[in-house]
Every structure is written in structure tokens, then in C-alpha cells.
Chains A and B, each alone.
Chain A
Amino acid sequence: EVQLEESGGGLVQPGGSLRLSCMVSGFTVSDYFMDWVRQAPGRGLEWVARCTSKARGDITVYAASVRGRFSISRDDSKNSLYLQMNSLKIEDTAVYFCVRGYNSFDTWGQGTLVSVSS
């Protein structure tokens, strides 16, 4: 069964850092494009970042709102995806979903909440 499980969310002060993890089971993470999508409380969905598959060169792409602050990466030995978030802002507060980028976004994790507040 294909499953994505996020962890690492929590409360952090503005300017702080947090690293989200996404443990993948049921498929090999390096074979697929993988994304992070977020949803602010009571709001819509916002695509955050993408890492292409190993076969497509491990290329990373970011939304303008996070470029230069966030970094997406993969650990193939752990079959996991990560999102390093630095210089966090209040407006980064959201539930962050790990998503498999196959046929658009076919499989989603349950999400992990990141709250940025002083």
C-alpha cells in the first residue's frame, strides 16, 4: 500500500527553522517526482516545492514565496523526503502535505502542522 507520513511540525518563532520529514512506503521515492503542498488554516492550497525523480535529474523547483528559504531534499537510503524551512515567517503557518507528483498529485500524506508565532 502506498503511504506518505509526515512529521516534524510544531511551534516555532519567526526567524526560526524547522525540518519536515516524509516517510514513504509502498514505492521507491527516488522513482517519482515528489512535492510539498501547504494549506494555511481555513484557506486554500498552495504548492511549495518539487523534487524530480532521480531519472529526471533530481531537479528542485520552488514557489516564489519560499525560494531561498526552503530546501527540498531526498534520502534514498531512508526512502524519505524532507523540507528544510529557514527564516520562517508568520505567513508560513500552515498544514504541510507531502505529495507524490504522479498523474498530477495522486497520493497525499495526512499533513503536519507548522505554527510560526512569537
Chain B
Amino acid sequence: DIQLTQSPSSLSASVGDRVTITCRASQDAGISLAWFQQKPGKAPKSLIYAASTLQSGVPPRFSGSGSGTDFTLTISSLQPEDFATYFCQQYENYPYTFGQGTRLEIK
């Protein structure tokens, strides 16, 4: 199985900050890497697929990069609605796996 490790596990930031979350895969995931945002009590929302492609309707302040084993999610200028938990996910191989999550909190 491909294990995904996110860092940091939690992060405090302010509105307007630029933040970066990393996701490291235990083996080559190609570009089959997605990012999701989840708010308490809600279903995850897809942000990015194929490592760097924004899902329709996602604001351009979100961006993704990477390939192989190292990936990043960057939010260029945090907005109040961005405070949530973020998960990476690989769909290169079965079983599809998720990172443990990064909780983004207001400083």
C-alpha cells in the first residue's frame, strides 16, 4: 500500500498568509494525487486532482504541485473560509489511501 504522510499535522495562520502543506508518498504515485478540504460535520470537498489541476469552481488561490513522492498544496492568501482540515489522497494504486490530515486553524 502507498502510505501518505502529511506535514504539518496542524498549522496556525492568519488571514492573508501564504501556507503550504506537504504530502509525502511511501512509493511513486506519479501525478495521481488529489487534495480535499473538509469542514466539521461536512463531506470532503475536492480541490485538486492530478497533482496540480483545480477542480471546477475552486478559487485560484489554491494550487498544487509535485510528482512521484513529494507533493504540496499552497494557499496563496488565506481567506476566513479556508480554515478547515486538508487531506491528500493517492489514486495511483489500489487501495487508494489518504494522508492523516492537516488542521488549519486561525492564529
Contact = CB atoms under 8 A, between A and B. Distances in A.
Interface of A: 35, 44-47, 50, 61, 63-64, 97, 103-111
A47 B100 CA distance: 13
Interface in B85-102: 87, 89, 91, 94-101
Contacts of B49: 103-104, 106
Contacts of A105: 34, 36, 44, 46, 89
Contacts of B36: 45, 105
A71 B46 CA distance: 25
Contacts of A103: 34, 46, 49-50, 53, 55
B34 A97 contact: no
Contacts, number: 54
A103 B55 CA distance: 8
A117 B43 CA distance: 24
A104 B89 contact: yes
10 contacts: A44-B100, A45-B89, A47-B89, A47-B98, A64-B95, A104-B34, A104-B49, A106-B55, A110-B43, A111-B43
B18 interface: no
A28 B45 CA distance: 21
Contacts of B100: 44
Interface residues of B, number: 23
Contacts of A97: 43-44
Given A103-B53, A104-B91, A45 B98 contact: yes
A68 to B, nearest CB: 15
A104 B52 CA distance: 12
A34 B5 CA distance: 26
Nearest to B87: A45
Contact of A44 (B91, B96, B101): B101
Contacts of B34: 103-105
B46 to A, nearest CB: 5
Interface centre among B32, B50, B89, by most chain A C-beta atoms within 10 angstroms, is B89
**For A50, A97, A108, A109, which residue has the most chain B Cβ atoms within 10 angstroms?**
A108
